[in-house]
Amino acid sequence: MSAVREMIREGTRRLEAAGVANARHESEWLLGRLLNAAPLALYLYEGAVPQDALTQFDAQIAARAAGRPLQYLLKEAQFVGRRFAVVPGVFIPRPETEAVVEAAVIRLRDLEARLGRPLRLLDFGTGSGCIAVTLACELPTCVLVGVELSWNALRIAQGNTERHGCAARVHLVQGWWAEAICGTFDGIIANPPYVPTALVEQLPRDVRHEPRLSLDGGADGMRDLSQLVTQVPRLLAPGGLLVLECGEAQPVQLLRDLQRTPWAESIQVVHDLAGRPRGVVSVRAAII
Ligand code: GLN
């Protein structure tokens, strides 16, 4: 058996023993990254494996077996078909967020057509920049402001805007939600922390390697979602769209919060492909 096949087999065995679900694929991705080869090309790799790749692979399999997320080891995550740099300390883009962003893009394209001018967008809790960059790429004339508390995340987000060619239209600001910003926007999107504090410790082991700041939404998980609902009217233009990601159990309370405001209309729950509720969209009434 080739050296590479043997390494993949051994890596798979160790990951399986640690309870990693996609052990074989993960083993292939890690080795593929180290040898700069696509997973399938690995099986055609004939030569000897350089010693430093052997050592790094061994260390990465050990880290992955101990629960370090794959994306931190690959230093990259996929989101809506694009690749984003991520490092420890920066929240890893999630598939559930893809569903929310896709729902936002459809509605924002429609809004842009109706307004007949480039949209001004605001992304709260930018993190790696995956939402900001996706919106900027899918709405190629929009201008977007991203607000993020963590300098570490801002640095990564900045790199991701450059990587995807939208740095000139995405402006990153360090600060705390709406306190960081003034002006009016046609669309506001946020994936705030929304996991109830007591549940953070019960999240899967991998997730506990991610920043608590991005996950812990206070006692009922609604702390930041409710704060955003209170803060956004100052920033959202009449007819503008608010898109909030939330936990599966939270749409009911979020709908209630929005229905109580004098400005929110056309309130709808966004579901993912599996039919789970993932977010809520609403529109600021033109006249209030
Ligand atoms: N969906 C994330 C998770 O379950 C939580 C994201 C968040 O709090 N914004 O890991």
pLDDT per residue as tens digits for the range 172-200? 999 999 998 999 999 999 999 999 999 99
Identify the band that residue 1 occupies on the pLDDT scale cut at 50, 70 and 90.
low
Nearest to 77 by CA among 87, 66, 89, 65: 87
Ligand 1 center from residue 53 Cα (angstroms): 33
Ligand 1 close to Cβ of residue 124 (< 6 A)? no
CATH superfamily of the 88-284 domain: Vaccinia Virus protein VP39 (3.40.50.150)
CA atoms within 13 A of residue 209's CA, in its CB half-sphere:
17
pLDDT tens track for 120-168: 999 999 999 999 999 999 999 999 999 999 999 999 999 999 999 999 9
Ligand 1 center from residue 142 Cα (angstroms): 27
Q: What is the pLDDT of residue 33?
A: 94
Domain range annotation of the chain:
3-66, 88-284
Question: For residue 2, is pLDDT > 90?
Answer: no
Question: For residue 288, is pLDDT > 70?
Answer: no
Ligand 1 center from residue 247 Cα (angstroms): 7
Q: What is the pLDDT of residue 176?
A: 94
Question: For residue 43, is pLDDT > 90?
Answer: no
Q: What is the pLDDT of residue 46?
A: 81
Percent of the chain with pLDDT over 70: 99
Q: What is the pLDDT of residue 62?
A: 98
Ligand 1 close to Cβ of residue 195 (< 6 A)? yes
User: Which residue stretches of 191-236 are H helix?
Assistant: 197-200, 223-231
Question: For residue 111, is pLDDT > 90?
Answer: yes
In which region does residue 218 sit, left (phi positive, over 0), alpha (psi from -120 to 50) or beta (all else)? left
Q: How many CB atoms lie under 10 A from the CB of residue 167? A: 18
The beta strands (E) that lie in the chain are given as: 76-79, 82-85, 120-124, 143-148, 170-174, 185-190, 236-245, 264-271, 277-284
Ligand 1 center from residue 195 Cα (angstroms): 6
Q: What is the pLDDT of residue 44?
A: 86
Q: What is the pLDDT of residue 47?
A: 80
Identify the band that residue 104 occupies on the pLDDT scale cut at 50, 70 and 90.
very high
Question: Taking residues 90-96, what's their average pLDDT?
Answer: 97
